[in-house]
């Protein structure tokens, strides 16, 4: 079994919710990026031998009027419940309403985690405004997935996406499982250090061509972080077939690929 712990819901309906300038920046940066229907996501999974995939919601309505709703995520997952799992979006600027929406997304809609994009919220992960959402997530027993490192949303700033800020969250919420997306590049040494010292933080390789992953990251996946590294695609930015093919060509030790693509994701998602 191969489990993709991080992909986008870039269906036509989702794309229509993007602010125009952000949609334009994505198209400029990723010229070959498809804008798939959900059936294309399933075909891409099949081509790569991927059995399950997480798709994420986004709520940055207060700051950028940017929202991929939890209801859309749940409806999409409902079309392929044996293949897809959904993570909720929540806007920390909405306070209690955001916490109530996260609870509804999990208990009523059946979503399995929370996605946070600090640069879209214009808040660092350790900002006190974020903490009520973490309290809610901890109470619900769900993981929180953070965008970290560089990104290509027009008009946003990567200063909000430093992996070092997750250290404070991990210490303040030891019972909450956190995932550092994209291994925090370009601050990947900082990111690896944060994951090493905090037992409740995983990291994923989503959005990267495996042959371009820094050697130090590969060394940590082979070594001290073998139980904390997660396969993720960030599809449709890259096809899963390409990622799986390139991963299999890397010099991983025996059993590491199974941990990366199967065992660690199963533990994270409770599968």
CATH code of 141's domain: 3.20.20.140
State which residues form the domain around 217: 3-269
Which distant-in-sequence residues (6+ apart) come within 8 Å of 81 by Cβ? none
- How many structural domains is the chain composed of? 1
- Predicted confidence at residue 36, as pLDDT, reads 67
Query: Which of 242, 183, 187 lies closest to 217, judged by CA?
Result: 183
pLDDT digits (tens, 9 = 90+) for 211-225: 999 999 999 999 999
CA angle 131, 58, 171 (to 5 degrees): 25
- Predicted confidence at residue 101, as pLDDT, reads 98
Residues in the chain: 271
Q: Are the beta carbons of 9 and 55 closer than 8 angstroms?
A: yes
Q: Are the beta carbons of 84 and 77 closer than 8 angstroms?
A: yes
| Residue 203 CB neighbours (<10 A) | 29
Query: Which of 234, 215, 237, 228 lies closest to 256, judged by CA?
Result: 228
- Predicted confidence at residue 21, as pLDDT, reads 72
- Predicted confidence at residue 28, as pLDDT, reads 66
Residues of the chain with pLDDT under 50: none
- Predicted confidence at residue 33, as pLDDT, reads 56
Q: How far is CA 263 from the centre of its chain?
A: 17
pLDDT digits (tens, 9 = 90+) for 60-71: 999 988 899 999
């Amino acid at each position: 079994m191969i489990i993709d712990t991080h992909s986008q819901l870039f269906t036509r309906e989702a794309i229509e919710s993007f602010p125009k300038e952000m949609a334009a920046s994505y198209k400029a940066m990723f010229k070959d990026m498809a804008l798939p229907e959900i059936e294309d996501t399933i075909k891409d999974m099949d081509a790569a031998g991927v059995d399950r995939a997480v798709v994420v919601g986004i709520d940055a309505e207060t700051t950028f009027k940017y929202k991929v709703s939890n209801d859309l995520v749940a409806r999409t997952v409902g079309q392929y419940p044996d293949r897809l799992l959904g993570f909720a979006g929540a806007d920390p600027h909405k306070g209690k309403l955001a916490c109530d929406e996260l609870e509804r997304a999990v208990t009523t809609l059946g979503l399995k985690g929370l996605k946070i994009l600090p640069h879209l919220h214009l808040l660092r992960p350790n900002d006190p405004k974020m903490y009520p959402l973490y309290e809610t997530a901890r109470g619900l027993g769900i993981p929180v997935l953070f965008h970290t490192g560089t990104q290509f949303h027009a008009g946003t700033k990567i200063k909000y996406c430093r992996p070092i800020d997750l250290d404070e969250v991990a210490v303040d919420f030891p019972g909450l499982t956190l995932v550092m997306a994209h291994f925090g590049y370009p601050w990947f040494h900082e990111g690896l250090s944060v994951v090493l010292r905090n037992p409740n933080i995983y990291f994923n390789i989503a959005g990267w061509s495996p042959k371009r992953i820094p050697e130090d990251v590969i060394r940590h996946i082979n070594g001290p972080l073998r139980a904390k590294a997660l396969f993720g695609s960030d599809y449709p930015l890259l096809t899963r077939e390409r990622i799986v093919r390139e991963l299999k060509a890397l010099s991983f030790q025996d059993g590491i690929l199974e941990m990366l693509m199967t065992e660690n994701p199963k533990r994270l998602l409770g599968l």
